[in-house]
Amino acid sequence: MPKIVVLPHKELCPEGAILEAKTGETVLDVALRNGIGIEHACEKSCACTTCHIVIREGFDSLDESDELEDDMLDKAWGLEPESRLGCQATVADRDLVVEIPKYTINLASEKH
């Protein structure tokens, strides 16, 4: 059973965590099931960037992102080559090390 190592995040996971995952689950679902409240304003429909994560190890084990996810990621704060949306990053058969960025952009809650 693959593991997801979540690096420490000051607010969401101060101590970091090691989570058990099932192949085929999304990183977001695993985190939420384990009490790590990664924001997901679009309810996991790949329509925002609030669940933006960076895969520090194991990136190559994930399916490639599609055009819709890439378009969303272009709007993410702190985009990196190993960035993915947690709702779209499906766990394969390898362990992952995941970093939750310090900031997120939630257009639904931003004041205009």
Secondary structure in 3-state letters for the chain: CCEEEECCECCCECCCEEEECCCCCEHHHHHHHCCCCCCCCCCCCCCCCCCEEEEEECHHHCCCCCHHHHHHHCCCCCCCCCEEECCCCECCCCCEEEECCCCCCCCCCCCC
Kindly state whether residue 109 falls inside one of the protein's structural domains. Answer: no
Kindly state whether residue 10 falls inside one of the protein's structural domains. Answer: yes
Kindly state whether residue 107 falls inside one of the protein's structural domains. Answer: no
Kindly state whether residue 112 falls inside one of the protein's structural domains. Answer: no
Question: What's the domain range around 82?
Answer: 3-99
Check: pTM over 0.85? Answer yes or no: yes
The tens digit of pLDDT for each residue in 32-66 reads 999 999 999 999 999 999 999 999 999 999 999 99
CATH number at residue 87: 3.10.20.30
Kindly state whether residue 23 falls inside one of the protein's structural domains. Answer: yes
